[in-house]
Amino acid sequence: MKKILKYSFIFIWSTFVLVPLSWALVTSFKPPAAVNNGATFIPWLQFQPTLDGWKDITGISGYANLFPPLINSATVTFFSTLISLTFGCMAAYGLSRFSYGWKNYKNPDIIFFFISQRIMPPAVLAVPFFILLKTLHLLDTKLGLVLVLTSGLMPIVVWLLVDFFNQLPKEIDEMAMLEGCNPFEAFVRTILPLARPGLTVAGMFAIIFGWNDLFFALVLTFTNVQTLPVAVVALNGTVTPFWTLSASAIFSILPLVGLAFVVERFLSKGGFAGAVR
């Protein structure tokens, strides 16, 4: 009985999650007639698949080309993730090992301050960021977007990693120092290698958040640095047919899906197991 309940719950939930996605995938290969004929799911049986939608978004048909936005997205996500991981892991290590503070405000308050930046809706920051970037002449530049994204990704990275570093015994850093490492060397040579699974998870989060950011990209960039989410939304007029839209949606999540497979393999290969005793 318990089993039936469990599996039916799993079935219902996965249907809920997977059907829209698979529908979009199927639709991206449909010819116009098939789209207007109600809900059909099985290619070749119910309709003859075509690549028209995919040709529309890859520049082959001359309708739109999502490759430049893909490269923009990749560049911006890569650098903002890199910066937030580099400085985030140092901040997190510091917060995990040393105590800072002023009067009654100690480490937990600092950590809360970091994460509190995510509590605020991004819309609140739109105007200030716009004016800031305008003043710095960084509007519609990759650097500007990277800096703004980093300010949003860093809190997540710090928050995740503080917890991870807290689980690593402090004695390991002490040991490294007793054996001739200064605190920075102890961090780089012994703690970072041990923190690889934590860094992977934090990095993955940063990449997902960075890649899917629509709001800041929409507000702070125009034509030069169009990112993928912005480009996909821009297609979403009345003129773009459904199959092309579906293809663009699938196109924009493909890199993340591929990355997820790679990372999943890396994590299960022994990341967490045995790192912390």
Partner 1 sequence: MKGSTVNLDLRSVSVDTETEVILKDISFKFEPGKIYVLIGRTTSGKTSLMRTIAGLIEPTDGEIHLGEERLDEVPIWDRGIAMVYQQFINYPHRTVLNNVEFPLLRAGVSKADAKAQALAMLEKVGLSEFKDRKPSQLSGGQQQRVAIARALVRNTRVILLDEPLMNLDYKLREQLREEFRTLFKGTADSVTIYATTEPSEALFLGDELLVMHEGRVIQHGKPDFVFENPSSIDVAQIVNDPPMTILDAEIKDGKVNIGNLITFPTPAHLKSEKDGKYKIGTRASEVILGGSESNSEEGTVSLSEVSGSETLLYVKLNVGEVVLQLEGIHDYQIGQAVTISLAPNRIFLFNMDGTLCAAPGN
Which residues bind to partner 1, rule: CB under 8 A? 169, 171-172, 174-182, 185, 190, 193-194, 274-277
* C-alpha angle 200-251-70 in degrees, rounded to nearest 5: 70
Residue 51: exposed, middle, or buried by beta-carbon count in 10 A (0-12, 13-18, 19+)?
A: middle
28 within 8 A of 253, measured Cβ to Cβ: no
CA 3 to chain centre: 35
225 within 8 A of 75, measured Cβ to Cβ: no
Task: Please report how close the Cβ of residue 229 comes to partner 1 at its closest, in angstroms.
Answer: 38
Task: Please report how close the Cβ of residue 180 comes to partner 1 at its closest, in angstroms.
Answer: 3
Nearer to partner 1, 136 or 178 (CB): 178
Task: Please report how close the Cβ of residue 174 comes to partner 1 at its closest, in angstroms.
Answer: 6
Nearer to partner 1, 3 or 277 (CB): 277
Nearer to partner 1, 158 or 176 (CB): 176
Angle between helices 67-97 and 142-167 (to 10 degrees): 40
The amino acid sitting at 2 is: K
Task: Please report how close the Cβ of residue 190 comes to partner 1 at its closest, in angstroms.
Answer: 6
Task: Please report how close the Cβ of residue 100 comes to partner 1 at its closest, in angstroms.
Answer: 17
Task: Please report how close the Cβ of residue 171 comes to partner 1 at its closest, in angstroms.
Answer: 4
Rounded distance between C-alpha atoms, residue 160 and residue 211, angstroms: 19
Nearer to partner 1, 18 or 175 (CB): 175
Rounded distance between C-alpha atoms, residue 239 and residue 117, angstroms: 39
Nearer to partner 1, 199 or 225 (CB): 199
Angle between helices 67-97 and 228-235 (to 10 degrees): 140
Nearer to partner 1, 83 or 176 (CB): 176
Task: Please report how close the Cβ of residue 176 comes to partner 1 at its closest, in angstroms.
Answer: 8
In three-state secondary structure terms, 221 is coil
114 within 8 A of 154, measured Cβ to Cβ: yes
- Contacts of 12-20 with C-beta under 8 Å, sequence gap 24+, read none
Nearer to partner 1, 90 or 194 (CB): 194
